Structure 1
Amino acid sequence: MIPEPLALEALLARDRVLPLFTPDAPDVARARLAALRSAGLGAAELTARAPGVAATFAALHAEFPELLLGAGTVLSAADAHAFMDAGAAFLVSPCLVPQVAVAARERGVPYLPGAGTVGEYLQAREAGCGLVKLFPGEVLGPAFVRALRGPFPDARVIVTGGVEPTARGVGAWLGAGALAVGLGSQLFREAGGLEARVRVLRRDLRRLGP
C-alpha cells in the first residue's frame, strides 16, 4: 500500500535527515539500507542515475518494506510511473517537472521538486507540492530558508546539497526553519560505521532540541 503523504512528512519531522544515494551496486545499497534501518531511520531516497535502477529499486523495496523508499532524480512521467510501480513512496526531482507532478498527484504519491529561488518555490506550491526540496544547499545557505519563511511562514522544505552530516551542519538548517535535510555523499564517504555515525548524529540532534 502506498503511504499517505503525511506519513512521509511525519517521518521527516521525526528523523530530521533523509539519506540519499544511487543504488548502482545492489549489495552496497542493501548494506546501507540495513544500517540506516538499524540506526532507526524510516526513509531514504534512491537516486535514479544508474541503468536498470527501477528493477533494483523494486527488489530493495521488497526487502525493506518497513522503510519509505523514494526515487530521486525523476525527470519524466514514464520514470515516475516506473518507480511508483516499483513501490516508490515518494518522488524527488532537482526542479519542478510538471509531468511528474501530475503523475504523482494522480496516484497519491508525494512529490518533492527542487527549488532554488522564491519563484520556483511558489511554482512548486502551486503545483500541489506540500514538501519542496531546496537545492543546492551549499549555494543557498540557511539565510535563504529564513528569508523564504518570511512570505511563506508555513513552508515545509528539505535542504539537499553540501549539507555536512554533523549536528552543527544539520542544526544550522533546522534552526533556520527547514523540516529536514538530505544527506548524500558526505554521509557515505567512509566505507564502514554508517549505523554508528547515524546513531551519533540523531543523538546529537535530539540534544539540540526541536
Structure 2
Amino acid sequence: MRDIVYFDLETQRSFGDVGGAANKDKMGISVGVAYSTRTGEYHIFGEDQTDELVNMLTRADLVVGYNHMYFDYPVLQGYTILDLASTTVNLDMLIEVEQLLGHRLKLDAIASASLGMGKTADGLDALRWWQEYKKTGNPEPMMKIAEYCCYDVKCTKEVHEYGVNNGLLKYSDRSGNIAEVKVDWS
C-alpha cells in the first residue's frame, strides 16, 4: 500500500519575532500533525518529537501539503540536518495551483468551494494559544493548537482527494464567484 502523508505544522514565533521570512528555521514548532494513509491515523508531534515527524515524512511515498515546501519544511529545517525538500517526494498543492492560475489561493478558498468546509482558526490564533501555554503551563491551549492543526491536515487531505477523484478543484475567485481549475494528481 502506498503511504501518502498529509502534513502541516504550527509555529511558536511569527515572522516579526525572528527577523523576517528568511529566518523560518528560527520560528520553532509548537505542534506538527501528519496523517498517514498507511496507518489511517493522525499523528501529533510536539517540538521534542520532530525526529519522529521527519522520519515519517522521509519514509512516505508522497508528502502532500499546502505551502509546505516554502513554509513548513523551512521551519522544520531548524530541527534536522536532512534537506527535506530533496529527501522527500512532494505534492505542494499551493505551488501546483499557483502555476496553473498564475496567483496564489488560500487553502480556505479551495476547501470552502470544493468541500463546503473552511478553516476553524488561523496561524495567528495558534501563536496566541502558544503564548498562553508558555505563560500559564495550562495544556488546554496546546490542545487547541493540535485540534486546529489536525483540522488543517484534514482539509488538505480532503482537498487533495477531491482533486484526485474529480480532476479539478473549485475555488472562490477574487470576485467571490466559484471557479474551477483542472488538476492531474492521479
TM-score category (smaller protein)? 0.3 to 0.5
TM-score normalised per structure 1? 0.30
Structure ranking higher on relative contact order (CA contacts 8 Å, 6+ apart): 2
